[in-house]
Structure 1
Amino acid sequence: MQISPSTTANLNLKLLQTFLLVAEHSSFRAAAEKVFRSQSAVSAQIRHLEEQLGIPLFHRTTRRVHLTAEGLQLLECAKRALLEVESGLRLIRESADIRRGKVSLSCSPTIAETRLARVLAAFEKDYPGIEISVRELTSAALFESIRRREVDFGIGPIVDTTEFQFEPILEDPLYALVPKRFLNTAKDTISLATLTNMPLLVLSAATALRRMLEATLRERNLSFTTRYEFAQAQTLISMADAGLGAAILPRVALPTRASRNAFALRIVNPPLIRQVAVITLKGQSLSPASERLVQLLQELIPEPQERVRSLKRPKLEQA
């Protein structure tokens, strides 16, 4: 089917969309019902399209409507053309959305205080028009903020639940910051059983890390004593440095410089590892700006050795 450039210049998308509806349903009446127009109006649009092209597109009988050979050719062309237009419009909308708008997120304190700043700085440099709102929350409040749609997504621990979807970005083993007055060792690991013989400094019960620790202790028939619990990892570090107890911390929260008063020992037997993820409600889709920020989180939050090697998750605590 040969169509002159002057003819195609006069075609419009509405005519092609009407043509596609009639072709799909083999009926002028069904196509008219889809667009809430009269059957005669739809028939007039198809006649106008046929007159522009100079060829019949449908065989019409009293019982049915079906495409001519040329109509079949146009059907394939029109489908491809409309898909290209829709794709182009989507890209234009996404390009506009990523230059303005808002992104809101909630974040686990240990990630917020150690890794989030470099991500936000990189994002603001590339997309200065996007307004970003961050809430630093312990896990219980973090999941509730996502559940209530108060934020677009969260950055926090993976837990065993079907309510949320998790995109893992970081494997974060637990360490003990042990005052040297409690232990003299050349090793870089410590067993969980050995730790329970010391006073422990732990994060509050509102954190997923605390609940993971307690669940593991129950499985091993172990218990611990603590005189202090805090919401912030930095407080635990200063308490351990003062010799008040062994602080249980994720690796991301460890001091960048070795303490003169305490050993940083990886917990083994069993090893304790939390997985940190981008968290959304099941079935939720993100805006282009949020998706770009998530990409940067995946790229910049983990160090090479911390990247998640498998999406398979161990048995975890309930949200």
Structure 2
Amino acid sequence: MSSPLDSRPLPNVNLKLLQAFMLVAEHGSFRQAADLTHKSQSAVTSQIKQLEGQLGVQLFHRTTRQVSLTESGVELLESAKRAVHEVELGLRRIQETTDLKRGRIFLACSTTVAATRLANILAAFEGSFPGIEVFVRELTSGDMHDSLRKGEVDFGIGPMSDIPDFNFEPILTENLYALVPKKLRSDGGQTITMTELAKLPLLLLNQATALRAAVDDTAKGMGLELKTRYQFNQAQTLISMANAGLGAAVLPAVVLPEHPHPDTHEMLIVEPEIARQVAIITVRARIMSPAASRLAQLVRLLISTPHTNARQRNRS
């Protein structure tokens, strides 16, 4: 059963009055609230008095030294905070819906991943979100990190690192292989040691890549001197050169051809095995847009492909 008070009309409170109230309550000062809203202190005082008049209660205890909330003021502040939170949630949902209907995503990606995995990921994303434009930049690790710092891209897909400015979320781990021409090693086999590999003319990615750094660091740690015959920017170029018999190409599993050339051996590098991790890279404390977050989620789901996983199982 409702009381007579329940049927009383609610006061028509102006949102600007509530904003002034919340600022005074938060800072405990009419002067600071006036500074933040670029109004005079008397104007803010007038707004609070108007609000108190509409509600029929006193909201603040005022003294010459401090301003504090009354019991009614505390109750109103808690209700106002809940209301503002709900409004912010509603606005965020509207913005997310808008972002997913149209918008732009700027993505940085390592060349090896872009050449082998990105097409299927982008095709799937475009099928779900046709109104969103995706701009891709193929970059080495150093350039990718610079681009992320400058805010030129939303996130990157590239090698793991321990740089403190970024978050690295591992999404793929893969071994390194040697694509060895049969004329350089006729006996073949499924594996080749790092010591054996160092005796061959090598085809490597350029020194700006994290993969090249992993190979060089492993050789240096073993006291080996690598015979680099050619170095290139693209993994596909290394594969072509190896197929032509010019040297042994060192490659991540992700770029190995599904159907190997008949004149080459695909050999897992062992003693030691060298693995690299691919990660989603973001700047710490920077929040991705809803559209970029959806694309990153699709990357997590689709970055691994069955034939590569099977190859690694069969050769390990």
TM-score, length basis structure 1: 0.84
For structure 1, which segment, 219-228 or 148-157, has the greater mean C-alpha deviation from structure 2 after superposition? 148-157
The equivalent of 1:150 in structure 2 is 152
The equivalent of 1:7 in structure 2 is 10
Instruction: Render the CA deviation track for 1:161-214: whole Å, top value 9, x for unaligned.
Output: 33444232221211112233414245x322111112222222222322112211
RMSD (Å) for aligned C-alpha atoms: 2.6
Q: Counterpart of 1:248 in 2: which secondary structure?
A: strand
The equivalent of 1:184 in structure 2 is 187
For structure 1, which segment, 113-122 or 84-93, has the greater mean C-alpha deviation from structure 2 after superposition? 84-93
Structure 2 gaps, min length 5: 310-316
The equivalent of 1:313 in structure 2 is none
Quote the offset at 1:252 in angstroms. Answer: 0.2
Q: Is 2:297 aligned against 1:295?
A: yes
Q: 1:72 to 1:151 in 2, by over 3 A?
A: closer
- Paired residues for 1:126-205 under 5 Å: 126-181=128-183, 182-186=185-189, 188-205=190-207
The equivalent of 1:221 in structure 2 is 223
Matched-pair identity in % = 54
Q: 1:3 to 1:15 in 2, by over 3 A?
A: farther
Q: 1:96 to 1:32 in 2, by over 3 A?
A: same
The equivalent of 1:244 in structure 2 is 246
Out of 231, 234, 237, the position equivalent to 2:233 is 231
Quote the offset at 1:300 in angstroms. Answer: 1.4
Contact 1:157-1:276 within 8 A present in 2 as well: yes
Structure 1 gaps, min length 5: 307-319
Q: 1:3 to 1:91 in 2, by over 3 A?
A: farther
Quote the offset at 1:277 in angstroms. Answer: 1.9
Output the CA distance in 2 between the equivalents of 1:225 and 1:158.
26
Q: 1:5 to 1:99 in 2, by over 3 A?
A: farther
Output the CA distance in 1 between the equivalents of 2:208 and 2:106.
22
- Would you say how many aligned residue pairs link Structure 1 and Structure 2? 303
Q: 1:200 to 1:64 in 2, by over 3 A?
A: closer
- Paired residues for 1:71-82 under 5 Å: 71-82=73-84
Contact 1:7-1:52 within 8 A present in 2 as well: no
Quote the offset at 1:117 in angstroms. Answer: 0.7
Q: Counterpart of 2:245 in 1: which secondary structure?
A: coil
TM-score, length basis structure 2: 0.85
Q: 1:4 to 1:216 in 2, by over 3 A?
A: farther
The equivalent of 1:69 in structure 2 is 71
